[in-house]
Amino acid sequence: MIIKLPSKSPIETYNLGTAIGRQLSSSQVILLSGDLGAGKTLLTKGIVAGMGGDEHMVVSPSYTLMNEYRCGRNDEIRIFHYDLYRLGPSGAAGLPEIDDYIDEGVIIIEWAQFLQADYFRTENVIKITLELSKTNDDHRILVIDSAHLEFTLNCASHRHRSGVGKKK
């Protein structure tokens, strides 16, 4: 199922990330796509916070390729945060097996558009594309594609409950 959620500010993008993070469990893969400056790392900060982690430890792993974060009451949840920007499409094709971490925790990949479409062979993949507005630098559309209907509907209902996107 695909839904489109508008975000009119960085805080709304962050809040959508926290709503997503609250619903995640281990062994899920989040594929983030979008242009430079679209808010992929900001969304990741929200996801980590929603999973009980410290948003301040989240930085884009452009040069390290992967950062690991611990979340939860006892740091029992592991998040593997990848950034493929520096590798580009040709470099991402030769990646080591990222999916080796699937059973270890949540995987978040920025610049996922550089991966081959069939890289992950699991139903636990959630694709999120952040589309920039052509008229307002702060506006985004988050296009969420998930086979998990409940997950997708919960994201949409959180948006309405929290006032995200509503005029004040």
Give the residue with greater pLDDT, 96 vs 46: 46
Q: Are 147 and 28 in contact (CB under 8 A)?
A: no
Q: Residue 42 is part of a domain; what is its CATH number? A: 3.40.50.300
Provide the pLDDT for residue 15.
Answer: 93
Number of domains in the chain: 1
Residue 141 covered by a domain:
yes
Quick one: average pLDDT of 111-123? 81
Most confident of 68-72, 92-96, 155-159: 68-72
Residues 13-38: pLDDT tens digits? 999 999 999 888 878 999 999 999 99
pLDDT band at 152 (very low <50, low <70, confident <90, very high): low
Does residue 167 lie in a domain region?
A: no
Exposed / middle / buried, residue 88 (Cβ in 10 Å: 0-12, 13-18, 19+): exposed
State the residue range of the domain holding 147.
2-162
Residue 90 has pLDDT above 50, yes or no: yes
Instruction: Kindly state whether residue 168 falls inside one of the protein's structural domains.
Output: no
